[in-house]
Structure 1
């Protein structure tokens, strides 16, 4: 599975977990067709869940006029994924993590979601 596809599937699994009672593995199984789970997808989903509090605090510390609770779920999910990659995955350059998060926000979010995600993540560099 390509990393972009793995990120999209991880985004979908994390978003589902934010909106339901699904556990991590159940959410991953729900979004992938192949029973063998991609290791990058697995790392993203479990990493975001395992480090959620730390990531949320880091993101919140870079918000100017927004409170963390006000961020819509799509943008929050994209921010968490990118923040995890920036902090915990040395293989992925920060700019790649940011660009991928912006693309996810554009695909799944509102018209200005990509700009918002880009602005917050750029401050986190």
Structure 2
């Protein structure tokens, strides 16, 4: 694999993780994500890493499309309400759905795989399978 695409893929993974950090905090504290983002940017070391721009895109994109994103998640989460989902899973789903619907340069399988991989690292044993199924259903809807 060429060094450029691998480096870009790793940078996007870091960006998704940073976006998750901010969205998770906003969700737990019941604050608007852009407000938490400002505080977060003040806490991280400078110079800011290059991947931060994509993290900001994800955070702002999720925040500005939250109602539609949550509507899709709620519609396709079989047997789960969005409020019952673990906070990590809910926010990983939000990031992935944002990418599925609003980021055409991110391939659907990439958005889904990245959410599943982060769930393996940061959530419950059942979360990767749950997110994979949920995001597959939403991706099928989005490509109709």
TM-score (norm 2): 0.79
Query: Would you say the 8 A contact 1:24–1:45 is kept in 2?
Result: no
Choose the corresponding residue for 1:95, options 109, 115, 118. Answer: 109
Please give the alpha-carbon distance, in whole angstroms, between the structure 2 residues aligned to 1:106 and 1:30: 29
Q: Distance in 1 between matches of 2:112 and 2:40?
A: 23
Looking at structure 2, the residues matched to 113 and 31 of structure 1 have their Cα atoms a distance apart, in angstroms, of 29
Stretches (4+) displaced over 2 A: 24-28, 30-38
Q: Give the number of the structure whose alpha-carbon radius of gyration is greater.
A: 2
Match of residue 80, structure 1, among 76, 94, 104? 94
1:105 and 2:110 correspond: no
Structure 1: runs of 5+ lacking an equivalent: none
RMSD between aligned alpha carbons?
A: 1.9
Q: Which residue number corresponds to residue 65 of structure 1?
A: 79
Task: Report the CA distance shift for 1:75/1:110 in structure 2 as closer, same or farther (over 3 A).
Answer: same
Structure 2: 5+ residue stretches without partners? 1-9, 140-144
Q: How does 1:23-34 map to 2 (within 5 A)?
A: 23-29=35-41, 32-34=44-46
Change (3 A) 1:96 1:27: farther
**TM-score, normalised on structure 1?**
0.90
Alignment length (residue pairs): 125
CA distance in structure 2 between the aligned counterparts of 1:112 and 1:30, rounded to whole angstroms: 34
What are the superposed Cα offsets for residues 46-94 of structure 1, whole Å, 9 maximum, x if unpaired? 1111111110001111122222221111110000000000000011001
